[in-house]
Amino acid sequence: MQDIYISSKPEEEEANHKLWKETAEKVVKDAGERPRRELWGAYHVLPHEKFITQQQDETIVLLLRSHPITNIGWMLTVIMLVVLPFLITASGIFPSLPNKYLFMGQLIWLMATMLYGFERFLSWYYSVFIVTNERILDVDFENLMYRRITYGNLNHIEEPVSSARGFAKTMFQFGDVLVQTAGEVSTLEALGVPHPSKVVDIISRLSEELEKRREIGQ
């Protein structure tokens, strides 16, 4: 009986992985980049991290998070919320309230503040935009109850666009990257990521490289 499907041998897979790794390194080099991790992991070129559905021959080229400066808002809120109960107690607004209730109220308030800060941090840390040699992944950790993972193949993308509008974005060199796809999900977004024009450059080069290799049948 004729074989319908013959799985590739481990040596072939290894060679394929090596080839793609070299290609990714070449693309990164051509874009004027080098393997590096900066801004507390917000801009990571050729990282060693892995993600859940990563295939054997898939190499992560870019791992991006929002610029750390975007966290300033919630950090200031947390500081204010930590100070607030002590200010209220010192002002003596609740003179008739027994101390045990004040104490428990403060503890609960501080725990809730800690939870808020932790949730905001998780939202930043786990909302990542990953560019591999084959596809783009947009992981959105909106809050503790909702997360969304969107995929887009590099050979299905239209021209990616970057934008950096406003004082902070220009000053700290971060902005948005929008990638139009031909799939069901029309746009993949990386909001507030560092060096958006570099990201667009690398995505375009990877897409071209994938196209070239497809044409020569690799």
Partner 1 sequence: MKVQESLNVVMIVEKLKVETVVKGMFIVGLLMYCVFAMVVLKQTSVMGQTIEGKYNQAIKLFAWLHMFMAILLVAAAVAVL
Amino acid at 209: E
CB neighbours (10 Å) of residue 152? 22
What angle (nearest 5°) sits at the alpha carbon of residue 208, between those of residues 34 and 66? 50
Indicate the residue among 127 and 133 with the shorter CB distance to partner 1. 127
Tokens representing 132 are 């591999």
Indicate the residue among 19 and 122 with the shorter CB distance to partner 1. 122
Positions 95 through 124 that interact with partner 1 (CB under 8 A) = 100-101, 103-104, 107-108, 111-112, 114-115, 118-119, 122
Output the smallest distance, CB 1 to partner 1, in A.
40
Positions 135 through 164 that interact with partner 1 (CB under 8 A) = 139, 141, 144-145, 147, 149
Instruction: Please state, in angstroms and rounded to a whole number, the distance separating the CA atoms of residues 210 and 20.
Output: 10
Indicate the residue among 54 and 77 with the shorter CB distance to partner 1. 54
Distant-in-sequence, close-in-space partners of 111: CB < 8 Å, separation ≥ 6: none
Distant-in-sequence, close-in-space partners of 77: CB < 8 Å, separation ≥ 6: 116
Residue from 1, 4, 32, 50 in contact with partner 1 (CB under 8 A)? 50
Is residue 125 within the footprint of partner 1 (CB under 8 A)?
yes
Q: Is 1 exposed, middle or buried (0-12, 13-18, 19+ CB in 10 A)?
A: exposed
Task: Tell me the torsion sign for CA atoms 200, 56, 147, 128.
Answer: negative
Indicate the residue among 57 and 209 with the shorter CB distance to partner 1. 57
Indicate the residue among 9 and 100 with the shorter CB distance to partner 1. 100
Question: Which stretches of the chain bind partner 1, using CB under 8 A?
Answer: 41, 49-52, 100-101, 103-104, 107-108, 111-112, 114-115, 118-119, 122, 125-126, 128, 139, 141, 144-145, 147, 149
